Chain A
Amino acid sequence: MIALIDYGAGNLTSVRKGFAAAGANLFTPVEPSDLERARGIVVPGVGNFAATAALEGTWTSAIRGTVDRGVPLLGICLGLQWLFEGSDEAPGVTGLGVIAGRCSRLPQAGSLKVPHVGWNSLHMPRDSRLLHGVDESTQVYFTHSYAAPVTHEAAATCEHGAVFAAAVEANHVFGVQFHPEKSSDAGIRILRNFVAATRS
């Protein structure tokens, strides 16, 4: 069973529907101890990084403990940013910190608009389990104003005013800045890859 963390930030209906199409049903843990039975964890999220403050404390330690047991984790959108140490959007809020670095606002360059909303292409500098079978330059759906830096964990990058991490992968910790549940066939493929990682 894959746990979908509900901390009040965003629309879980679409995420559930996307995973159903990828062959997995999700459960919503009520208490941190419910993660003991999780074979995978999904941290979704839209909106302000401050919303992740709801995870600080017991949820963060339970998620960290579960990941330490080898259980795969997927952060979506704000969930990817939360894998880093923090974000300029909410300087007082601490992320999970499994990837070094901080998220910052995309620059308002020329006529480019921020938020970055719409379909943009992925550049994949290396092979990854999460993006297996997804072609270079595939377009996926983004909607965000803040973004994570490109570190050696980056499995895909994207450019909008600046180059940022579109997907990260560090062992069994994964994250996507875009919305796979809204990215048509490529998105479902990515969710299926994560589901496969929870079953290996």
Chain B
Amino acid sequence: MLSKRLIACLDVRNGCVVKGVNFEGLRMAGDPAELARRYNHEGIDEVVVLDVTATIEGRRAFEATIRAVSSELFIPLTVGGGIRSESDAAAAIDAGADKVGVNSAALTDPTVLTRLSARYGSQAVVVAIDAKRVNHRFQVFSRSGSTPTTRDAVEWAIEAESRGAGEVLLTSIDRDGTRAGFDCELTAAVSGAVSIPVIASGGAGTFEHFTAVFNEGRADAALAASVFHYSEHAVSDLKRHLLQQGVPVRC
């Protein structure tokens, strides 16, 4: 049976992890490659590296960081942040990324998804969607959640699939950073509308939140950052918990 995937997200700024190590109010920067090594050892299924300032500052994800992280990993690595064109994607993939996450650029020009999937295959193209509840619908925001668009998350996911995206990385802006749980309703709405896998993101705080997003949210994968920093055994403890709850995971 296909396992539900646990994905660790490293938010990187200037070569350092800036979010995630946020236990009891402490805020520390970490070395991305060191964290990737630890997560790999603990049994994480995938790693996502996001250059959180790339789009805003109009620059590419830090290639040296990608190279350093990918050298630690023999599991899939997705890179996002500032992927605007085929050449941006090529730079990330040449540096060791297996998949690229495209967000703002796809909203501006959806054909970028088609061009990337024609060149690298749809398995390498992840459409990243940031959505927020506005007037009883899920509105898509661009540019790291700063700019509202006219798009609806479910409709945009369907279009992105038809244009060549191979996975959806779906982030709830409402839940991001709150540790109040994933937005299961949003996740289920998108997951039920597309045939490509949906990665739920935003709001992970407890192990129960993961069970809920896999069962009620129908997520194929769940992404988190800070929850995996709680202890050295967070990934393996979470997997044991999910197995006990009947959620299939790799162990």
A-side residues, CB < 8 A to B, are 9-11, 13-14, 17-18, 21, 46-48, 108, 111-121, 139, 141, 143-144, 159-160, 181-185, 187-188
Contacts and interface: CB of A to CB of B under 8 A. Distances in A.
Interface string B138-174: 0000000000000000000000000000110000000
B247 to A, nearest CB: 13
Interface stretch (B27-35, B116-124, B203-211): B116-124
A46 B218 CA distance: 27
Contacts of B218: 111
Interface of B: 1-5, 40, 45, 70-71, 74-76, 93-96, 98, 117, 120-124, 166-167, 195-197, 218, 220-221, 250
B3 A17 contact: no
A54 B4 CA distance: 35
A117 B99 CA distance: 12
Nearest to A9: B121
Contacts of A141: 75-76
Contact of B70 (A17, A46, A120, A144): A17
Contact of B74 (A118, A119, A139, A183): A183
Contacts of A119: 2-3, 5, 45, 250
Given A118-B220, A139-B250, A21 B74 contact: yes
B2 A116 contact: yes
B98 A11 contact: yes
A114 B71 CA distance: 30
A160 B120 contact: no
Contacts of B124: 11, 46
Given A10-B121, A119-B5, A121-B1, A188 B74 contact: yes
A120 B196 contact: no
Contacts of B2: 112, 116, 118-120, 160
A114 B93 contact: no
Contacts of A114: 195
